[in-house]
A = this chain, B = another copy of it.
Amino acid sequence: MRNQSVPFVSSIILGIDPGSAVTGYGVIAIQSHGFTPIDYGCIRPPRANKLSERFVVIYDSIGELIEIHNPDAVVVEMQFFYKNAQSALTLGMAKGAVMIASKKKGVPVFHYSPPVAKKAVTGTGRASKYQVQRMVQQRLNLAALPPADSADALALAICHAQAAEHVKARKEV
């Protein structure tokens, strides 16, 4: 089915920038001539939801995205240094939801730190949110600037797609 809509696809990658409030996602196809955007957007569990229900929304949404797009890899932002341990805990729960949803569907999970993903797309690990949005728009030939969370997710997908050549740490977690 994938090959009907996007010709010569060798690989589909789902990038995810997890968060308990907003989880950005972006799907790209690797083709012989470059990358093609397939889908991108944000998962926003209702704010009135209990914390545990929000993670179920993330878990279910990732499962749905995997069923729709059948990716070969899921790529998650993974940062191991946080100023705030409480936000690290909540983010950990969201990342856990993404990892389990992916593995339960049989899709391998890879991770990259934000500087590595930024560098892969913009050339610098210290790029601003806006620079990432601009470069993702340009690389994927998008008509509009993607929202910041989706842009980060698309950047992760692009980073992974380039990993064989440009990034050493292509490690399944």
Contacts and interface: CB of A to CB of B under 8 A. Distances in A.
Copies of this protein in the assembly total 2
Contacts of A42: none
A82 B87 CA distance: 10
Interface residues of A, number: 33
Interface string A93-104: 111110110111
The interface residues of chain A, by DSSP majority, are classed as: helix
B104 A56 contact: yes
Interface of A: 50-53, 55-56, 59, 79-86, 88-97, 99-100, 102-104, 109, 172-173
Chain A to chain B: the 6 pairs with minimum beta-carbon distance, closest first: A92-B92, A96-B96, A93-B96, A82-B85, A88-B88, A52-B99
